[in-house]
Amino acid sequence: MKIVVTLDVMLAKRKMKLNELSEKVGISVTNLSLLKTGKAKGIRFSTLLAICEVLDCEPGDILTIDKD
């Protein structure tokens, strides 16, 4: 099993670019890009909460589990 980050899907639904999310959340584009591509090793709850507040979503909307 692994955790899959679907941040790009939520960004598309909200018609928002990574740069705009970066500005609103206060996180570098580089760190958001690592998260979006699944290369991040972890995420702080405070960061996840900030992203969800800006995107008006739940953590489960951007983090899923792949059981394969």
| Cα–Cα nearest to 10, from 56, 65, 67 | 56
What CATH number is given to the structural domain containing 14?
Answer: 1.10.260.40
- Domain membership of residue 56 as a residue range: 2-66
pLDDT tens for the chain, 68 residues: list them. 999 999 999 999 999 999 999 999 999 999 999 999 989 989 999 999 999 999 999 999 999 999 98
What residues are paired with 64 via a beta bridge? 4
Helices (H), 1-68: 7-13, 18-25, 29-36, 45-55, 59-62
**Residue 34 in contact with residue 40, Cβ under 8 Å?**
yes
CA distance 4 to 23: 24
User: Domain tally for the chain?
Assistant: 1
